[in-house]
Amino acid sequence: MNNMFPPQMDPQAWMAQFSDPNAWKAWTQAAPLDTKPITATVKEFGATIDPSTLSKLQSDYMQQMTSLWQEMLNAKAPAIGDRRFASPEWHSNPMFAFNAAAYLLNARFLMALADSVEAAPRAKQKIRFAVQQMVDAMSPANFLVTNPEAQQKIIETKGQSLTKGIAHMLEDMQKGRISQTDESAFEVGRNVATSEGAVVFENEFFQLIQYKPLTKSVYERPLLLVPPCINKYYILDLQPENSLVRYAVEQGHTVFLVSWINPDKSLAHATWDDYILQGVVKAINVVQEISGQDQINALGFCVGGTLLSTALSLLFARGEKPVASLTLLTTFLDFSDTGVIEVFVDEAQVAMREKAIGNGGLMPGRDFASAFSSLRPNDLVWNYVKANYLKGEEPPPFDLLYWNADSTNLPGPMFCWYLRNLYLENNLRVPGKTKVAGEPIDLTKIDAPTFIYGSREDHIVPWTSAYESTKLLNPKKRDRNRFVLGASGHIAGVINPPAKKKRSHWINDVNADSADEWMADAQERPGSWWPEWAEFLKEHGGKQVPAPKKYGDTKYTQIEPAPGRYVKVKADH
């Protein structure tokens, strides 16, 4: 898809080309975009586009392009309703305004073309994803010669912005990724992951952190947090004002947290079973021993929730009842609808991964980061290309984006099992379909009240999929499940402390048969969902007891202060 206005040409000379009606006719006949790459992709997936639909789209396109061209000839700047082109430089010059408007028209045409494809849902989603990636990449805002903001910046800074932009690009080429924040502004243990605590247990898979109480008395049942092993744990403990860890401690809970190792070659053969048995199950047992409680409260975030639910299914099947309550944040248990991530998971891609690392090896953390960024390319890729490289700006410090860049590897066998059994075959939702340590996994065996949270704009775990957990857990006692929906996305929706008084959340005491039915009767409430969770946790915390005065016990003593060594290991180490 080419930009419709050659920016390197003098606009008067360019317009003069079309003063001749014959030239205008020739241009308009050639104006429709070259759809061959898209139609080739469509055929590759065995899909089709109805000829009448294609003809209608092309006709509409030509009408709109003609109208846009007439505006240009009349020196009327076209309306540009896109935040990528919000700066005055795009509107003050008709050349750039036309270029942006033509791009947006082309983008709408191509996306409408992708939406018109007649194909199986998975194939159609892949086609749409591929077209969206191309459309986003070809924005005139992404190129120096077509971006008036960047050009103006060069003039204002006498070329310094261009020099800085090239330097930023070269630095990022060395890193192998685009810088989204000033990474020098943060350090784990100094100004992120600062909640006071100590490591009281460690093995080759994780360190267990116990946090210092902030209240004189605590609930007798401790709280164990299981973050995703695909990211660093400190998303739950960024800074004091947005730390879920600190919030839970302030509510009077003795908080323990799993800090996963960033695997190197020594764990290249680790499996899903290892992460369950040597990870989650071991953490539960250690917390039980230290607290002296048979039952604890447990929270799992994202894949941490999937691991935790699998481990609890195993333990309940063995006749144990280790939890008084379960909390799942943006967690898949039913993988029927995985949203746009589906484009990365099919038989061919999974088989390729299995061949490469299924019997040993590492899934690099940078690959995860690239895949997740591609789900929101304008926000997580092109926005920074424009700011860092074209305009030479320094990325501002932002703790969440610092965490986002601190990626984590995964062992190949573990990752491939996860892809095939859960994402591809969706075996976890079927009782007994999959096994851990030889034990059939049945989520219905988990007998505990459950708090389930989803984020409304989540592009990684669609909230409707998170809602499906209300049917898989406690299926005969669904009133024991509480679902809460928060605003925003996968991370920002979760990390929404009450003090910020931001966003809103939805509640409904009735668990409907479908997510849409639940939402239809849900009540919107302003602010964070955290207090809703705090009330749930309070119900299952047990009685109040004096806060522990030391970390661990006689068997599990302090190894080192929090945040510990494991969280500081980089993926490229």
Q: Which of 135, 188, 200, 302 is catalytic?
A: 302
Report the alpha-carbon distance of residue 358 to residue 406 in Å, rounded: 24
Helices marked H in 406-548 — which ranges? 412-418, 463-467, 469-472, 515-520, 530-539
Return the number of other C-beta atoms located less than 10 Å from residue 264's C-beta: 13
End-to-end CA distance of the chain: 40
Report the alpha-carbon distance of residue 491 to residue 232 in Å, rounded: 13
Residue type, 224: L
Q: Which pairing describes strands 410-411 and 362-363: parallel, antiparallel, or unpaired?
A: antiparallel
Residue type, 160: Q
Residue 236 structure tokens: 């739950």
Q: Give residue 46's region: left, alpha or beta (phi > 0; psi -120 to 50).
A: left
Cβ neighbors of 132 (< 8 A, separation 6 or more) are 111, 114, 377
**Sign of the dihedral defined by the CA atoms of residues 414, 420, 421, 422, in that order:** positive
Helices marked H in 448-522 — which ranges? 463-467, 469-472, 515-520
Report the alpha-carbon distance of residue 402 to residue 567 in Å, rounded: 13
Active site residue 416: no
Q: In what order do the strands lie in the sheet with 504-507?
A: 523-526, 504-507, 481-486, 450-455, 323-329, 296-301, 223-226, 255-260, 206-211, 197-202, 560-561
Q: Taking Cα atoms as reference points, which of 218, 214, 217, 308 lies closest to residue 258?
A: 308
Catalytic residues: 302
